[in-house]
Chains A and B, each alone.
Chain A
Amino acid sequence: MSNNLETTALLCDFGSTYTKLTVVDLDKEAIVAKTRVPTSIDTHLEDGLNAGEEELRRQGVDRIDARLACSSAAGGLKMAVSGLMPELTVEAATRAALGAGAKVWRVYSHELTPSDVHELNESPPDIFLLTGGTDGGNKANILSNARILKSLLKRSFPIVVAGNRVASAEISEILSDFSPVICENVMPRLGVLQVDAVQQAIRHVFLTHIVNAKGLDDVAATLSAPLIPTPSAVLEGVSLLSKGHGESAGLGDLMAVDVGGATTDVYSIGSGLPSEANITQRGLPEPFAKRTVEGDIGMRHSCRGIVKVAGEEAVLSRTGLTDLELEAGLDKREENAGWLAESDKDKRLDDSLAYFALKTALKRHAGQLETAYTPFGKTFIQTGKDLRPFSRMVLTGGPLVALDDAPALVGEALADRDQYLLPLAPRVLVDHNYVLSALGLLATWRPDVALRMILKELSHE
């Protein structure tokens, strides 16, 4: 599908700290230039982009035929979701939002309280996702939530409604001041997860409202494909890698982990259905392409979150640091997102942080197998995805890929399995140049080229 008119594409990733620019030669299928400039919230994001393009010209880039962009600037796509039962519509709504690349900031079940709405007034999300009830099921809950939002909400932000169809008309009337986007129920029938319509609505709102609010409108107008949230770009990249494109086969069921400074994102592409006949699956059906986010786990800004889940003792004993050294190390990391470890001790600490981050985030993503002891012997119950046969694990994220031996950490993190259905023996592929999100972005526009480039990037070993 070579198109000779366009030979170079600029891939921009507006991050909260840096705007990363990558230039791809579409004919040579190679990255020809890369740079990053600080993202400043005070000035328009476009200024950063212009400065970056200036730098690229100095590096010899003389033409840019197409531009693609993703953004996690200004905190990413911050969402609050509400539903009725925690294990049903609340879970469905959360998964839909995560899959759309959002950062799920608040999750509310049952009735919203005045203090919940107060919280929304204090710190408004970019989008509120209102769900609850199957079609024809409970509607009292979603109606009551719509009413309390109407009466107590002082801030205006887009509201996406994906609940009981029977309540939709009434809700759009109640919330008319907020021009709600009404879409199909995220759980039309019990146990049926319908995320496509909601995710489409979220992407639409992201483009029409959020992009403007975050000073990306001018940039968006010059793009060859819609601007998307950064996690969606990674999801596009790993989905393409798994499924392949046209004649080119993909790698099949796989996982990817992005251990960043502030959060750790885990992706799995594959059904993960029970692999044996004597295992019964329980719980909501799993999305084929699934994303989970650990908001409290990251190697810089959120490094204390890792120590909290791992336990200080465990971190001290693994690193051999003293209490004081650990404190100082965490302080440095918390303060500076772009900080790089150089000394031996700092590298050891980064190594340990990565190990505990991987261990925690992978377990939280994986399904679990429980043995139920019945009066008649054992039976097995699976909740979540069975990732045991997943054959590849892609590692990405700045601080993670900078480590000397990230694959060894994966092996270690997977060794301690308990009831978790983690991959048994995945081949680890490292995104050494940290280009997966950029190439994922390219996947939305030129999947053929993107697939070959991702495969090449990940086979550097």
Chain B
Amino acid sequence: METPAEEVANVEKKTLVIGVIGADVHAVGIRILDYAFRDAGFEVVNLGVMVSQEEYIAAAVETNADAIVVSSLYGHGELDVRGLREKCIEAGIGDIPIYIGGNIVVGKQPFDTVEARFLAMGMTRAFPPGTTPETAIEYLKKDLGVEQ
């Protein structure tokens, strides 16, 4: 959404749909991710804050996205992503990788159990607090088959 007008879509680029899910208004992190992903050569569709599951999916279908990156800071990520994978399957993009990161649960919990819960809900990868954009980019390149 924030691409300058003169920048035309590049077919070779991998497209990421990103946004902060649910009623979460933490707007800073997603801007940084947007910038970092673009810088790393991705096409980014940034939906901003307070993004519903349906909005991620509609955007991913329309833009033929290669991955969905969900950010959640306020601790309610678990409630917010429940059912997202099932809806993707319904919409015909069941195989799309979905990443989630930020502060995805309330307080400090052992991350391996947290991760297991998110993977069980169909997330492709779940990241602990403090994960840098660089780490996310490394995984994206690997998962999407981008040559390094």
Cross-chain contact A166 with B50 (CB below 8 angstroms): no
Q: How far is A87 from B55 in the complex, measured between Cα atoms in Å?
A: 9
Q: In chain B between 47 and 82, which residues have their CB closer than 8 angstroms to a CB of chain A? A: 47, 49-50, 52, 54-55, 58-59, 61-65, 74-76
Cross-chain contact A379 with B64 (CB below 8 angstroms): no
Q: Give the Cβ gap from B17 to chain A, nearest Cβ, in Å.
A: 8
B contacts with A, residue count (CB < 8 A): 30
Q: Give the Cβ gap from B146 to chain A, nearest Cβ, in Å.
A: 16
Say yes or no for B28: interface residue by CB 8 A criterion: no
Say yes or no for B43: interface residue by CB 8 A criterion: yes
Contact with A along B18-38 (1 / 0, CB 8 A): 000011010000000000000
Say yes or no for B11: interface residue by CB 8 A criterion: yes
* A137 contact set on B, CB distance < 8 A: 9, 15, 62-65
Q: In chain A between 68 and 106, which residues have their CB closer than 8 angstroms to a CB of chain B? A: 84-85, 87-89
Say yes or no for B10: interface residue by CB 8 A criterion: yes
* B65 contact set on A, CB distance < 8 A: 137
Cross-chain contact B11 with A136 (CB below 8 angstroms): yes
Cross-chain contact B11 with A189 (CB below 8 angstroms): no
Q: How far is A134 from B54 in the complex, measured between Cα atoms in Å?
A: 17
Cross-chain contact A88 with B25 (CB below 8 angstroms): no
* B47 contact set on A, CB distance < 8 A: 190-191
Q: In chain B between 76 and 111, which residues have their CB closer than 8 angstroms to a CB of chain A? A: 76
* A375 contact set on B, CB distance < 8 A: 74-76
Say yes or no for B8: interface residue by CB 8 A criterion: yes
Cross-chain contact A381 with B59 (CB below 8 angstroms): no
Say yes or no for A139: interface residue by CB 8 A criterion: yes
* A187 contact set on B, CB distance < 8 A: 62
Contact with B along A187-199 (1 / 0, CB 8 A): 1011110000000
Q: How far is A137 from B13 in the complex, measured between Cα atoms in Å?
A: 11
Say yes or no for A165: interface residue by CB 8 A criterion: yes
Say yes or no for A224: interface residue by CB 8 A criterion: no
Say yes or no for A135: interface residue by CB 8 A criterion: yes
Q: How far is A165 from B64 in the complex, measured between Cα atoms in Å?
A: 14
Cross-chain contact B9 with A166 (CB below 8 angstroms): yes
Cross-chain contact B23 with A379 (CB below 8 angstroms): yes
* A372 contact set on B, CB distance < 8 A: 23, 50
Taking beta carbons and an 8 Å cutoff, which residues of A are in contact with B?
A: 84-85, 87-89, 132-140, 165-166, 187, 189-192, 280, 282, 372, 374-376, 379, 381
Pull 14 A–B residue pairs with CB atoms less than 8 Å apart, ordered by A: A85-B62, A88-B58, A132-B62, A134-B63, A136-B9, A136-B10, A136-B11, A137-B64, A138-B64, A139-B64, A166-B11, A190-B59, A372-B50, A379-B23
Question: 9 tightest A-B contacts by CB?
Answer: A136-B9, A374-B23, A137-B63, A138-B64, A135-B9, A85-B58, A137-B64, A88-B62, A190-B45
